[in-house]
């Protein structure tokens, strides 16, 4: 009989990937909490929350994050450009999760084995800032098949992290 596994008896190995999330004006406590949980699930090394007046820690976020905000390192910055430029100097490839004229489906982006990725995600109404897109190596998008042209930022982040980490896992198995 198949039995549901729980936190203390699952078979997943803890793994960290060279992925940093950069949140461009993401300010919803529910989204922030979900991003922490998703980042923990996919072995993200760090999260940056960028924008003025962003409150990362709140009761709503803590309920949603389920303590993952205590294990994923994070920083806050008013200026996203400073964060992105610093990550570029540290050797990160900047990818913006945004539908643009030149964006490609995330499934078509090829991760290099030694690549460090900074995935920039944007607030749902405004998306990733154009000045950040200009600093990005590539804009990537999730191919969708409905009427809507966007999805919840936390959901989109989970899909993107799944696609990126899947490639690293396939590379490591070779």
Per-residue confidence of the chain (174 residues) as pLDDT tens digits?
777 766 666 666 777 889 999 999 999 999 999 999 999 999 999 999 999 988 888 888 888 888 889 999 999 999 999 999 999 999 999 999 999 999 999 999 999 989 999 999 999 889 999 999 999 999 999 999 988 877 899 999 999 999 999 988 888 776
Cα-flanking dihedrals φ and ψ of residue 66, to 5°?
50, 50
Burial tier of 71 (Cβ tally within 10 Å: 0-12, 13-18, 19+): exposed
Q: What is the pTM of this model?
A: 0.92
């Amino acid at each position: 009989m198949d039995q549901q596994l729980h936190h203390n008896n699952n078979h997943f190995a803890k793994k960290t990937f060279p992925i940093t999330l950069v949140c461009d004006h993401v300010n919803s406590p529910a989204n922030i909490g979900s991003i922490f949980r998703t980042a923990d699930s996919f072995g993200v090394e760090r999260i940056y929350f960028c924008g003025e007046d962003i409150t990362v820690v709140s009761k709503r976020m803590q309920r949603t994050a389920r303590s993952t905000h205590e294990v994923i390192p994070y920083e806050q910055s008013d200026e996203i450009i400073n964060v992105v430029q610093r990550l570029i100097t540290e050797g990160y490839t900047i990818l913006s999760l945004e539908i643009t004229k030149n964006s490609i489906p995330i499934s078509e982006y090829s991760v290099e084995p030694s690549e460090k990725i900074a995935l920039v995600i944007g607030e749902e109404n405004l998306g990733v800032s154009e000045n950040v897109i200009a600093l990005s190596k590539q804009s990537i998008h999730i191919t969708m098949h409905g009427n809507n042209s966007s999805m919840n930022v936390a959901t989109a982040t989970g899909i993107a992290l799944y696609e990126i980490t899947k490639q690293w896992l396939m590379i490591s198995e070779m």
